Amino acid sequence: MDKIRVVGGTSLSGRVEISGAKNAALPAMAAALLTEEAVHLENLPYIGDILTTRDLLRNMGVDADVREDGTATLKASDVRSPEAPYELVKTMRASILVLGPLMAKFQRAKVSLPGGCAIGARPINLHLAGLERMGAKCDVVHGYVDALSPGLHGSYLLMDMVTVTGTENLMMAATLAEGETVLDNAACEPEVSDLAALLRSMGAEIEGDGTRTIRIRGVRKLHGCRHRIIPDRIEAGTFAVASAITQGDVEVAGCDPRHLTAVLTQLSQTGAEISIRPDSFRVRGRSPISSKNVTTYPYPAFPTDMQAQYMALMTQGEGSALVTETVFENRFMHALEMIRMGADITVEGRQALVKGGRPLTGARVLASDLRASASLILAGLVAKGETLIDRVYHLDRGYYHIEEKLARLGARIERIR
């Protein structure tokens, strides 16, 4: 299994180009199930989760071609089995995103339950409750959701928690349902709006995306389209922290800084100098780094997907910072690995107290999930000596060539095969 080796101590500088957003690309690929016509996607990141989704769609009979240049053509004119097997779902929870489109188009679906993962229990009760209100019957048998409906109908759906893939699943299900669906307390993440834009160009009638109330009027049929995926705000944020933590000077290009308002505001409060242009921003790290508390919430607040990276930065802060995770119940596994590198972090429930100013030393560490892996690389960039990160497959699920991009900015980093 591959490992990543980082030798700390260099300051990053230069320009990095951001790839397409994983979490926008995954629902976009699932949306191709809603039409028999070809859906052409551009700016897909060529990463593990995208290839898993391609395999999942192919397994159902979709003609799915994903190319390394970031383009894909998906044609679901011959779907033979509306099923997502355990083998594929267990490696990627986002497989659940096929449930909504399958129910809309084929009125039946069999999708493995994702189960818990390294960041929490991650139930899908809200996805199922929404589909049931729209007329589906969802049974859980042998670890699978077995769903059937005589045809979905529109409904008023108030979700008790903000769920990103839940909103996406129900929005897709509603596009072909009879009548109007209102999704209340919907997720406002840019990835949800990107999916809404894709669905509109397939002929769907959706308004209100980007707000807490989304209205979808069902149509009889959707058609093929061409759509460009938005840039990955979490990848952009990860490079922003890489610059700040190494006292670097990095231009993060090909992104949408409006999607990173909370992250860039937080970083500027820690002392980093940030200048923003329409499709790029520049981060100049400054010493000392001020320790500032942060709390994760759904968009537009500070994202849970940046919590681990921010914690790495706070290990180098001047003072103490309280990091509060409100989205997932167990997303501090990286803290234990950072402690092994010399960080002073105390975790209690959903809060971690990070006492800064401790020099980190390189160590062998284990990546527990995607963002945890990124945070350990960031810690490695400032640690004395060598950090060896194991279980790099988590990283490869979500970041396109991160070690090459960092190396081009001057990091001493390599993949060991």
> Contact at 8 Å (CB) between 248 and 25?
no
In the stretch 110-149, what mask flags binding to ligand EPU with x, by CB under 6 A? ----------xxxxxxxx----------------------
Which lies closer to ligand EPU via its Cβ, residue 24 or residue 363?
A: 24
Question: Contact 238/267 with Cβ under 8 angstroms?
Answer: no
* Cβ atoms within 10 Å of 61's Cβ, excluding its own: 14
Shortest spacing between CB 7 and ligand EPU, in angstroms? 26
Q: Choosing from 117, 138, 225, 255, which is the catalytic residue?
A: 117
Q: Is 328 in the site for ligand EPU (CB under 6 A)?
A: yes
Rounded least distance, CB 96 to ligand EPU, Å: 8
Q: Applying CB under 6 A, which of residues 4, 12, 26, 64 lies at the interface with ligand EPU?
A: 26
CA angle 112, 115, 119 (to 5 degrees): 140
Nearer to ligand EPU, 243 or 309 (CB): 309
Specify whether 117 is catalytic: yes
- Considering only residues 304, 373, 375, 387, which one is a binding residue for ligand EPU as defined by CB under 6 A? 304
**Contact with ligand EPU (CB under 6 A): which of 327, 345, 372, 413?**
327
DSSP string, 122-153: ---HHHHHHHHHTT-EEEEETTEEEEE-SS-B
Do 327 and 294 form a contact (C-beta atoms < 8 A)? no
Taking the C-alpha atoms of residue 324 and residue 27, their distance in angstroms, rounded to an integer, is: 28
| Identity of the residue, 247 or 304, whose beta carbon is nearer to ligand EPU in the bound complex | 304
* String of DSSP letters for 356-376: --PPPB--EEE--SHHHHHHH
**Residues within window 194-253 making contact with ligand EPU, judged by CB under 6 A:** none
- State the nearest-atom distance from the C-beta of 100 to ligand EPU, in Å: 12
Sign of the torsion formed by the C-alpha atoms of 335, 336, 337 and 339: positive
Compare residues 191 and 209 and give the one whose CB is closer to ligand EPU: 191
**Residues numbered 369-398 forming contacts with ligand EPU, rule: CB under 6 A:** 370-371, 398
Q: Which of 305, 337, 396, 403 binds ligand EPU (CB under 6 A)?
A: 305
Distance in Å, CB of 240 to ligand EPU, minimum:
16
Q: Looking only at residues 45 through 84 of this chain, which bind ligand EPU when binding is defined by CB under 6 A?
A: none
Strands 13-17 and 249-253: parallel
Residue list 155-174, contact with ligand EPU (CB under 6 A)? 161, 163-166
Shortest distance in whole angstroms from residue 79 CB to ligand EPU:
22
Under 8 Å between Cβ of 269 and 292: yes
Q: What distance in Å separates the CA atoms of residue 270 and residue 141, rounded to the nearest whole number? A: 50
Angle, nearest 10°, between helix axes 307-314 and 333-340? 30
DSSP state of 68: T
Q: Does 260 bind ligand EPU (CB under 6 A)?
A: no
CA angle 376, 382, 384 (to 5 degrees): 105
What minimum distance in Å lies between the beta carbon of 398 and ligand EPU? 6
Q: Give the tokens for residue 138.
A: 């969802």
Of residues 45 and 248, the one with the C-beta less far from ligand EPU: 45
Residues in the interface with ligand EPU (CB under 6 A) total: 26
Active site positions, annotated: 117
Which residues form the interface with ligand EPU (CB under 6 A)? 23, 26, 93-94, 120-127, 161, 163-166, 191, 303-305, 327-328, 370-371, 398
